[in-house]
Each structure stands twice: as structure tokens, then as C-alpha cells.
Structure 1
């Protein structure tokens, strides 16, 4: 077997990005034969942001691939199950009721001559049923307080896809412990500077000495300490289409008598939106807003008013957000992962997903040759594409709104003009179903036609099918779906009972 000299890979910065990178690359490259000495250089004085407490469902695949125990992971991060996101108040009230739709992690296809979405429209069900209720198991499970897990569900598997609500700070600690147990070296030191020569980093200077390496991963957050040393003018801002650039986050006790909900709530406010995420021990909440329209004090006041006084506040934090991405995420011998590489506002809980995406892609490219310009170009092209696709998907949530009660919302529909691909598809989707083939040539990594349908149809951007189906055929399709719902409810557990199994 061909072998090569062991190289040193330094990850600068801890948090979720640093430790997810460390545990993934260590398992990929060092499981049987050691290829890299992997070090995480983490400052004990610089805290992590730690408010990204919701995930997309694919994070399960990352945790499973790392050989982690699901119940141990959930127990150590105060985690609950997430079945999707409930969006509230993103459009004008309907018949005096707050507009609401659910974006779940599943869509069923019970069979028939057309797909279930087409049958939902042709059958005229939009007059009496929310779209998600017509096609998703998770949509029905949450109404009865259930989650997709059963008492016998294998690790990271269930009746329907699911993600987690978890404490991001505790997740970083958990992954750090597991990574160190598996051979990653943890160095507590504060990076002061980097020595650069001919476009590559030779070493980083810290308060504990200098550390050289063959390859570096920048996980220093918005500061981008390493990547900025290698290339200036390397940031593409998305502020023109995603103007929310600040957030105020409040951790509070769970309201008295409340049980954790198996879904995130995203409620539109005057100049942005508020999240509510239930852990087993508290609720994480926050307001993502446009700072050109609200001061931090005004945003905090609006958030506190929205939350009410039924629970004690534990902590309040104000955050600046740098929305956009690197033009080149891999420069020289350094890759930026996490916030240092890019950030899209957290509307669809994509922070950990982008870390997973970036580090898994890095592993396959590093396996080829960590110095190849061809591989760097490939990596950069894909990461730019992922961020551009994600940007358009988030813009979709805003541009379909018909709210006109504030300047922020009156300007929201115009944001689509900065997204050429999306702007060209919206008229198309008024005439036909949004389908997988519409995404040909895109970089969609997780949000495809299924996800777009939930937003489009939740925001009442409906197509107009010009054909008919018999009541019998439509009834057969939804009869099969109702059978799936019945079986799912019988097999799944109440969310709070599942949490008691995990947390005691």
C-alpha cells in the first residue's frame, strides 16, 4: 500500500465549526492509517456565538457518520426533536386569522397517475386545507404533539426525517471531547498573527508560542483571521437582497406549563422575524432585523413585547451578522469553514449544514492533493454555488409576502430582482408545478423542489393546472396518504415521552 508522510493540519478556532471539522477530518483521514496530525488551536478567552440551536434534518447523517451515539448526543446538548418550521405572520391575516404555514422535513408520494402536489391542486383542496397538511406526515404528527421517533427507532432513523433543537455551546463541548478521545490534539492558545509567505500560511503565532503546519482551516468566525491574511477583497455581500444584518437573542426559561414543541417557530415582526426554539431546559429566541430600520434597543423592546412576560429571561445578547460569502473559500493552503467562509441569515437553520457541507467537500478534495489549483478551483466553485442557491431560497420567503404594514415589508418583494434565477422561475411557477427538473444546473444541496413547494404554496404562490381528474382518482391518492398518516400516528411517540426516555 502506498503511503505518504504525515502532514500537520491546524484548525484555528473551536466552536461548532472547529470541532465538526476536526472530528470529520480525523475520522476520514486517520481512522485506520494516520495521514494528518490534526490540531485545534482554540482560545479560552474568545467565546462562541452559540445561538444557532436548530438544524436541518441532514445533520443526522453527519452525526451518524462520526460514529456518535444519538441519545448521548441529545442528553449532553439538552436536545429536542425538530420536525420542521412553523412560519407565522409572513403574509397579511386571512379572514382575521394570522397567516401560518408549516415547512416540514418530509413530503409523501403515495402513488397515482400524478404526484400528490398536483393532485392537491387539481382536486381543489387548497380551499379547505393547508398544503403541508395534504402531503406531510410531520405536519399531522405535530398537531398531536408527536415526533417521528418511536421507542424502537434505530439511532438517527425514524418514521419521517427530523433534525434537532440543541444547545450549540454544549454541542461544541461534546464534539471536542469526542474528537480528543479519537486522537485530535487540543491546543488552548489565542492566535495573534499568521506568518505568510508566497500566498501560503507557514505558521500561526499565539500567546503559547508558534505553530507551523502544512494546511490550515480558518474557523475564527466573522473575523476570518487567516483567510483575510491571504486574500483581500474576498467577500461578496448579500445585503442588497438580505438586509437583515443584526440580531438580538434572548434565552429564557420555558413558560410555565409549556412542553417543548417538536418544531421551530419563525414569526415575522415589523422589520425582520423572530425565532423560538424549545430545548428541554429553556427556550432560545431571537429577532433577526434590518438595522437601518431599528436600533438594537428598539429591536430588543419589540422582541420582549412579542415574547411576553410568562417566563424569566436568562440572558440577552446583541449580535452583528455579516451576510454573504467568500468569493474564494480556499486560498493557498487555507480553507475557511463556518462563519469565516460565509453566512446566510438563520431562517432555515442552515449554519451547521453549511459547516457539514464545507468540511465533507474539503475531505474529498484534500484526499486528492492539498496543493492542487484544480482542486481549489473546484472547491471554490461549489461553495460559491451552495451559498448562492441558499441565498435565493431565503429570499423566496420574503419576496412573496403581501404585507404592507411597514417599510421593511413593502420593500420585501423587490429583493427578488437581485436573484436572476429565482426571478425567472416565479412566473413559471404560476403556470406549472415546481418540479425537480426546474433546478437543472443549480447547486442545490438540500433545498430542492420539495422545499420550494412548501414555501411557494404556504405563501399562496399557486400554479393553475388546466386539466381535470376524477374525484375517484383524487380520493384514492389522498386515501392512501391518510392511511400513511394513521400508521405514522400509531407507530410514533409523543414528543415529551420520547424526551423523557432520553433525558430521564
Structure 2
């Protein structure tokens, strides 16, 4: 399939991860067909790294580009990610922490029991149902293992479990820039001073500061970050805030050193603090840490102090970087001949590391729309509806964490628990879970609008301890205790590589894109 003939020159405004991901995918897809891609990057505007983690979907991005892990991971201080741990989000006994794992074939037996026991418990039976006790990825994370099997005695190779990545966002942007230039993307340094429009509303060209030259193109990609230079400022597309759903609007980033006496963790930790949550992301050379919080409940100075106390002596000399977040989405992600990608199109706090997934999802659907000749209004409307649905689906899952918290130690957590500004879809999911009705049918009813698959919803609701009190003894037939499940997982995890050892011995020599 080829893009419409009218798409001969694509101009991307803004670099960073969003800009260079866009440049790589579009050039990879259409560069050989004569399409030109130019990226304009300002030396005056710093890029914002919105996180240093991904979902498994990013593996498809590198596969599309033909990039092996050995090629990009060492350049970005990258590590493997088996899931996300959520400590201190609830006070429910036995559920003070849980892990949202990535799901694998190895989970078929214990995972099925988890789903059954979670449903028994939500209907009043005392069955063990914390997801961190039933999935191999959670055990790999506990033991700091990589998601790859050790060599088998018979010489056969076992496939890896599902996984994602941690990486240095700044280095990833630089790596993607280098690769895009190799593909033939044109790189211009400059700051856009004027956006020129046609009578029909399309963008005709861009004038840069200090120059009379006008850069003309047929398609413009807005990767200018929260300022939305093209989509908001030039085209006037409104921004729709999620502030009534998600209170957090600030973040603090702060690096700390790795403990070289221990293996490298293979999970993200998202620990609930007084007015938000703190992330810890392991790289090969350091930890990336930060605090996502709500400025309506705590000052920047107080939040930084709490983060430093949370990190302890490791953060004593660490520099804090304060960031503002615009949480929500634009009302139209594609208007006229302009597509918004990355922070310009919207942002949902990085609790589930979805930033790059949203970028990649949008680009994949845009490419598909153009290649199927859906460049007109009907194509735009369908694309915009799907991307809005994606953002709203991710928002609902993230909001679910706050709706399910049981903390009452600060006004922040009490306000989140009392907040009723949630979607009808999320409200229905919670209601069906609570009343013991058919949860499978409820998830099926919402279909792809949920964005998150069935096991993820079970892990969220069960992991946060969303169960009734006064549980009755569960029927013993077919049940398994957390201790029994953990014992089986611990034995299975012994078949996997240690994280640091795999990174040192395999990622650097692996030649196959994953």
C-alpha cells in the first residue's frame, strides 16, 4: 500500500522521542516510495522526557525498524521490564502491594486459578487472590530475573516471556535521531516564527526565526510538546483537560545510583506517597526516580522534600528537575493536514508507562488510514474517534487506581476516593465487580474501548484489594493458597537468567530484533 500522492513532503515540528519516533516510522514506511521527511528542531526549546518505561507494544516498533536489542539497548542504558509494582496504594491486609505483570503462556495454569479465586473472593469467599502470587512475571521481578530462559539441557531454545523496557528517554531520542538520519530524514535546526495557512485552513508552510525562507509541505506533524504550536496555537483545536478525573499536574525527576552489590531490578516501582506516587525505574547505570503529584494539595518544595525523604541518603546530592504536566487530550488529533503526536496531542500521567504506546498507536493508525485512502473527512473522523477512544480507555484504567485506593491519611487520597467524576464505563465496571455479577460479560460488552486486556482489569481490582469484608470460608476443592502458588513460581523462576547477567552476555551480542 502507498500513501496518497499528495503526501510528498512531511514536516515534523519538534524532536524528542515523539518527533524522532514519527520520523523513523514515516520514513521507514514511505521513504522508499519518494516521500520526503523533514524534522525541525529548535535549539531554544528543551525536550521533556515523559518517562523511562514502556509497554510491550514498543517491541513492535523496533521490529518494524529492524533494530536489534543489541543495537539500541546498550546505547540507551536500557533494561528489561517484567511489570509494575504498586506498594502502599491501599491499606487492605494482604493487599498493601501488588504487581501488574505482563502475561505469558507460563501463566495458563496458575493464572486461571487466580481469575477463579478472584471471582470467588469478590462474591464473599476467603480465597487467596493477590495477582503478585500467581504470575511468573511477578516472581521474575521479585528475584530480579530477565524474561529469558536459561539454555535447556536438550539444546532447544524456549521463547522469552512477554516483556517491555526501561531506558534513558534522552538517550533514546538521540539514538532514534541518528537512525532517522541514516534513513534519509532531513534535520533542520530552527524555531518556528510563523505558521502560514491556505484558504481552506490547511497549513501551507512554516517560516523560521531569522529567515525569510518558507518551508512548504503537504503534511505537518506537531511534536512541539505541551505548547501545541500547530494543533492548538495555529489551528485552534481545543484541549480537553482530564483534571476532573486525574488530579496530578506536576512531577519531579531525580536520579540516584544503583546498588552494585545487587542485581538490577526488572520492574518499575510506583509507590504511593502523601500526595501522589513515586516512580523508580532501573537502568544499567542508575535509577530514574520521580514524584507525580497534585499541586492543589502540596507545594513543589514540600513535594521535593518528601521525595528526598522517600529516596533516603541516595538522593542527598541529586538534582531535582521540576516539570508541569498538561493532562488530557486535544479534541481532534488530526485536523486539516496536521497530525498531533506526543505531548501536543495529549498526555496521561505515566502511572502505566503509556506515553510511547500512545505515540506508536497513533502513528500506526494514521499510516493505516492514509494507506487505505482515508485521507478525507470521513477518514479523519474515524481516526480521531479511535484515538480519542484510546486516550479515554487508558485514562479509565489509570483513574481506576485512584478510585480503588483505601488510604485516608491525607486530603489528597480522600479526595481521590470521593471523586465521582469518572466515566460511565469505569463506573459500570466497578459496579459489576462489586455486586458479584458476570464480570467477563461486562468486559466483553466494552470490547476494544477498554484498551487494557482482561487479565489487567482482574489484576487491578484484585490487586488493590477490592473485596467485601466478612468473608466466608472458601470451598477447598480446586483452590490454591498464595504460599503454594509462590512456591511453584519460585521454582519456575530458577529456569531464567539473572537480569544483569543476561544484559551483559546476551543483549550486547543478540542480533535478532524482538
TM-score normalised by length of structure 1: 0.89
Cα deviations by residue, 1:194-250 (Å, 9 ceiling, x for unpaired): 111221100011135321100000000101001124443511110001010011111
Structure 1 residue aligned with 2:500, among 493, 496, 503? 496
Larger RCO: Structure 1 or Structure 2 (Cα < 8 Å, ≥ 6 residues apart)? 2
Compute the displacement of 1:168 (Å): 0.5
In structure 2, the residue matched to 1:450 is: 455
* 1:310 aligned residue (314, 322, 346): 314
| Residue 27 of structure 2: aligned partner | 26
Q: CA deviation at 1:369?
A: 3.7
Partner SS state of residue 319, structure 2: strand
1:482 CA drift (Å): 7.3
Q: In structure 2, the residue corresponding to 1:362 is in which secondary structure? A: helix
Judging changes above 3 Å, is the alpha-carbon distance between structure 1 residues 497 and 93 closer, same or farther for their aligned structure 2 residues?
same
For 1:393-412, what aligned pairs fall within 5 Å after superposition?
393-412=397-416
Residues 196 and 206, structure 2, Cα contact 8 Å, conserved in 1: yes
Moved more, 217-226 or 227-236: 227-236
| Alignment pair present for 1:104 and 2:101 | yes
8 Å contact kept, 1:395–1:415? no
Distance 1:113 1:433, change over 3 A: farther
Counterparts in 2 of 1:270-419, with a 5 A limit?
270-311=274-315, 313-369=317-373, 371-419=375-423
Mapped partners of 2:479, 2:361: distance in 1? 39
- Equivalent residue for 1:426, pick from 427, 430, 449: 430
Q: CA deviation at 1:282?
A: 1.0
Residue correspondences, number = 495
Q: How far did 1:5 drift?
A: 6.6
Give 1:373 deviation, angstroms.
0.5
Matched, 1:202 2:201: no
Aligned residue among 459, 464, 470 for 2:464: 459
Deviation at 1:489, TM superposition (A): 2.2
Q: Distance in 2 between matches of 1:151 and 1:143?
A: 17
Residues 436 and 344 of structure 1, relative CA distance in 2, 3 Å threshold:
farther
CA gap 1:456/1:366 in 2 versus in 1, 3 angstroms = same
Paired with 1:370 and 1:8, the residues of 2 have a C-alpha distance of: 18
Preserved CA contact (<8 Å) 1:267 1:273:
yes
Alignment of 1:87 with 2:86, yes or no, is: yes
Gapped regions of structure 2 (runs ≥ 5): 153-157, 510-514
> Bigger shift: 185-194 or 68-77?
185-194
- How much does 1:275 deviate? 0.6
| 3-state SS of paired residue (1:310) | helix
Quote the residue 2:39 is aligned against: 40
Offset of 1:359 from its aligned partner? Answer: 0.7
Secondary structure of the equivalent of 1:435?
helix
- Secondary structure of the 1:440 match is helix
Q: Structure 1 residues 208-217 or 265-274, which shifts more?
A: 208-217
**How far is the alpha carbon of 1:490 from its aligned partner?**
4.2
Are the counterparts in 2 of residues 330 and 380 from structure 1 also a CA contact under 8 Å?
Answer: yes
- SS of 1:274 mapped into structure 2: strand
The answer for the alignment partner of 1:249 in structure 2 is 253
* Residues 36-55 of structure 1: CA deviation (Å, up to 9, x unaligned): 21111112332211251011
Separation in 2, partners of 1:20, 1:246:
25
- Summarize the Cα distance change of 1:62–1:406 in structure 2 as closer, same or farther, 3 Å threshold: same
Contact 2:85 2:100 in 1 (8 A): yes
Counterpart-to-counterpart distance in 1, 2:117 and 2:30:
48
User: Contact 2:139 / 2:489 at 8 angstroms: preserved in 1?
Assistant: no
Match of 2:217 among 206, 213, 217: 213
What SS does the aligned partner of 1:178 have? Answer: helix
Note the C-alpha offset of 1:408.
Answer: 0.6
Change (3 A) 1:472 1:169: same
Distance in 2, Cα, partners of 1:239 & 1:26: 36
What is aligned with 1:74? 73
| Structure-1 separation of matches of 2:175 and 2:283 | 16
Query: Paired residue for 2:180?
Result: 179
| Distance change (3 Å), C-alpha of 1:407 and 1:180 | same
Matches of 1:111 and 1:310 in 2, distance apart? 41
Distance 1:52 1:459, change over 3 A: same
Q: Who is 2:115 aligned against?
A: 117
Q: Does 1:140 align with 2:139?
A: yes
- The answer to whether the 8 A contact 1:230-1:332 is kept is no
Aligned to 2:512: none
Question: Comparing 221-230 with 108-117, which one deviates more in the overlay?
Answer: 108-117
Query: Is the 2:193–2:207 Cα contact (8 Å) retained in structure 1?
Result: yes
Query: SS of 2:226's equivalent?
Result: helix
